[in-house]
Amino acid sequence: MLNTPTSLPTGVPTRLAQVAVTASPVAIFTVAANQRAAIEHVQICNTTNSAITLNVYIGSAATAANALAYGLSIAANSVTQWPMFQVLNGGETITVSAGGLGLTITISGFTSI
């Protein structure tokens, strides 16, 4: 049986982050302490001639236990679309890192939900 949501997200649609991903984990978005946010869509662009791996973490630390994606291979000269719905609570972060330079990540969603 298909799960049907009982309500749609509310809040302000926004671009939560857009950055060039580095090899070291970097927090690219932090939810304000008194708010919540939701990721609705992630787009990753690889501007190089080689595949690059991507790691995305949500929560309080960039650890395997908080990995939303780990070692995700993004093909050379491509754009990967990643639709999803993931809620972040106040104080939680989105942290990213990559196996090399050349990835740009754009994350869209809602704030104050």
Extents of the domains making up the chain: 12-111
Whole-model pTM: value is 0.87
Whole-number Å distance between alpha carbons of 33 and 15: 19
Residue 65's φ and ψ, nearest 5 degrees, are -65, -20
Percent of the chain with pLDDT over 70: 90
CA distance readout (Å), 33 to 10, 21, 77, 92: 18, 25, 38, 8
Residues near 62 by Cβ (< 8 Å), separated by ≥ 6?
25, 55, 95, 97
pLDDT of residue 106: 97
User: Using CA atoms, how far apart are residues 109 and 84, in angstroms rounded to an integer?
Assistant: 10
- Is 10 or 23 the better-scoring residue by pLDDT? 23
Which residue(s) pair with 110 in the sheet? 13, 38
CATH of domain 12-111: 2.60.120
Runs of H (alpha helix) within 34-106: none
In this prediction, residue 60 carries a pLDDT of: 87
